[in-house]
Amino acid sequence: MPTPYDTTLCLEELRAALALHGITLPSLRMDLPTFAAAYEPPAGLITLGNCNTATARALAAALREAAER
């Protein structure tokens, strides 16, 4: 099961990778209730959150570009 530390590292890695493409997801964060849940898995979920259409399009373009490589 991921620890809060593992999830924080993953979150920061994702934030940095998105930043390389000029993408910021304003609601990107750890989903803290999943650490208190009584079920396994999942634990340590990351909430991608809401974004506007410009951010969604930038994310889609970055994913398409990466897939074409």
Q: Where are the domains of the chain?
A: 4-68
Per-residue pLDDT at 24 exceeds 70: yes
Q: Terminus-to-terminus CA distance in the chain, angstroms?
A: 33
Which of the residue ranges 1-15, 19-33, 36-50 would you say has the lowest mean pLDDT? 36-50
pLDDT of residue 41: 62
17 pLDDT higher than 70: yes
Question: Tokens 């994913």, residue?
Answer: 63
Average pLDDT in the 57-66 region?
Answer: 94
Q: Which whole number is the average pLDDT over 47-64? A: 92
For residue 27, the Cα-to-chain-centroid distance in whole angstroms is 9
